[in-house]
């Protein structure tokens, strides 16, 4: 069994896998990391590998404390990946983006793939049908857009995401919700449309904390999977073990 851990900018997600089957999913704060790993390892005594993808600031030594009972892996730029990295600055490419690209490559072979990860930031990663990672884009996620409106203006309030958003805002708050949410949706649909104009045999995977909220608002057909990074992390480790 494999315990996959995704250390994000704001929270930690983890999942236990038996081969490619997700057995159980966890989400917790960074200050609960050690205790939760201990609990998971006690419950799932067959876990033989612990794999970490991190964009956060958690100390690696904390994970290494568990190396006596399980093999600990940190995915890095030097690992084997199932795609050819065409990024001009490959060592600046985020590990989370590389893991997502690996998962898309392995799960959807011989397709043009666009992975959209809607979290603190939204990232777009394109892997063509010849398994070349071509690059993508990064922009602020929903929460950052709300925070920037509040932080860089004198009078706008700090709002949180609401499930119902009007297109034409009748108040300042409604106008902010419309601008943030509808602007975000138009951005994502716009990116997808541009890729679809150029590439056929195309698949779009939407993941991240805001994936479910966004999925029903996009006009384009997508595969929404909020656990895609953890699934990709599991697949990336299996690929690494086979190819090391």
How would you write the chain as a 3-class SS string? CEEEEEECCCCEEEEEEECCEEEEEEEECHHHHHHHHHHHHHHCCCCCEEEEEECCCCCHHHHHCCCCCCEEEECCCCCCCCCEECCCCHHHCCHHHHHHHHHHHHHCCCCEEEEEEECCEEEEEEECCCCEEEEEEEEECHHHHHHHHHHCCCCCCCCCCCCCCCCCCCCHHHHHHHHHHHHHHHHHHHHHHHHHHHCCCEEEEEECCCHHHHHCCCCCCCEECCCHHHHHHHHHHHHHHHHC
Query: Is 96 annotated in the active site?
Result: yes
For the chain, which residues make up each domain, given as ranges? Answer: 2-74, 84-233
| CATH architecture label of 2-74 | 2-Layer Sandwich (3.30)
Name the active-site residue from 6, 96, 128, 131.
96
Asked if CATH classification 3.40.50.300 holds for the domain at 84-233, the reply, yes or no, is: no
Instruction: Indicate the pLDDT class of residue 164, thresholds 50, 70 and 90.
Output: confident
Same fold, 2-74 and 84-233: yes
> Which tens digits make up the pLDDT trace of 191-241?
999 999 999 999 999 998 888 889 888 988 788 998 999 999 999 999 988
Percentage with pLDDT > 90 across the chain:
66
Read off the pLDDT band of 180 (50, 70, 90).
very high
């Amino acid at each position: 069994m494999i315990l996959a851990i995704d250390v994000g900018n704001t929270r930690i997600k983890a999942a236990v896998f038996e081969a490619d089957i997700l057995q159980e999913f966890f989400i917790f704060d960074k200050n609960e990391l050690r205790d939760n790993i201990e609990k998971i390892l006690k419950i799932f005594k067959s876990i033989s590998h612990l794999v970490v993808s991190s964009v956060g600031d958690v100390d690696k030594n904390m994970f290494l404390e568990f190396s006596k009972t399980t093999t600990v892996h940190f995915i890095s730029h030097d690992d084997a990946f199932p795609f050819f990295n065409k990024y001009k600055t490959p060592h600046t490419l985020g590990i989370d983006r590389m893991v997502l690209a690996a998962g898309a490559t392995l799960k959807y072979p011989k397709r043009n793939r666009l992975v959209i990860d809607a979290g603190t930031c939204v990232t777009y990663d394109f892997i063509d049908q010849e398994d070349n990672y071509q690059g993508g884009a990064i922009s602020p996620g929903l929460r950052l857009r709300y925070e920037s409106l509040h932080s860089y203006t004198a009078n706008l309030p700090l709002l949180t995401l609401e499930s119902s958003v009007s297109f034409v805002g009748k108040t300042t708050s409604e106008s902010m919700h419309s601008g943030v949410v509808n602007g975000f949706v138009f951005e994502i649909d716009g990116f997808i449309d541009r890729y679809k104009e150029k590439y056929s045999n195309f698949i779009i995977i939407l993941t991240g904390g805001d994936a479910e909220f966004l999925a029903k608002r996009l006009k384009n057909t997508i595969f929404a999977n909020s656990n895609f990074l953890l699934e990709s992390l599991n697949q990336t480790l299996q690929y690494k073990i086979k190819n090391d």
